[in-house]
Amino acid sequence: MIAAIILAAGRSSRFRAAGGEEASKLVAEFQGRAIVRRVAEAALGSRARPVIVVAGHAREEVEASLAGLPLTFAFNPDFATGLASSLKTGLAAAQDAAGAVVLLGDMPKIRSGTIDGLIDAFERNPAALAVAPIYAGQRGNPALLSRALFSRVRNLEGDEGARRILAAADPGGIVELPFADDSVTLDIDTPEDLNAARNLL
């Protein structure tokens, strides 16, 4: 069983400081749906189960934007300390999984096929510690972490996340999976990012 963990607890500080009107960038609309709902629907359309959403800042708004979807919610009371606490919360809710696909809630172009591609690559490489997507020579998200890496998350602090885990892991244990589009690198940090992503469509 490979779980999906959607990190959706962040404070969206840059988004709101730059004039974003929503309580969280994750509930901003992209192609008719909240950004985080698009991510959740992609996860639910994949083979990953369960799909766990880690909420924190603007919890009510985030959860309301996901109403009606068969998700598992985990609340991170320490969301203000950064990404690491949310990753710890998510993995604690996925302890029975052989691995977890860690998704960022602000990547609206992620597709179910991307997640399944990571899972397929992991199953083809049973000794792999992780699978990371690559676009234009750059590592992106989501990343699949094997259960063997879960314990290393305990040492993360602040805004450290899966990227720090991969950087510290044996390179021979990381499977890099190339993708032909920017869906694995495009995220939304500011209202300008959101407008640019909308205009690309």
Domains in the chain, CATH or no CATH each: 2-200 (3.90.550.10)
Tokens of 95: 């302890």
What is the distance in angstroms between the CA of the first residue and the CA of the last residue of the chain?
Answer: 34
CA–CA separation, 194 and 15 (whole Å):
10
**pLDDT tens per residue across span 2-19:** 999 999 999 999 998 999
Whole-model pTM: value is: 0.96
Strand 29-30 vs strand 33-34: parallel, antiparallel, or unpaired? Answer: antiparallel
**pLDDT tens per residue across span 39-96:** 999 999 999 999 999 999 999 999 999 999 999 999 999 999 999 999 999 999 998 9
8 A C-beta contact, residue 176 and residue 135: no
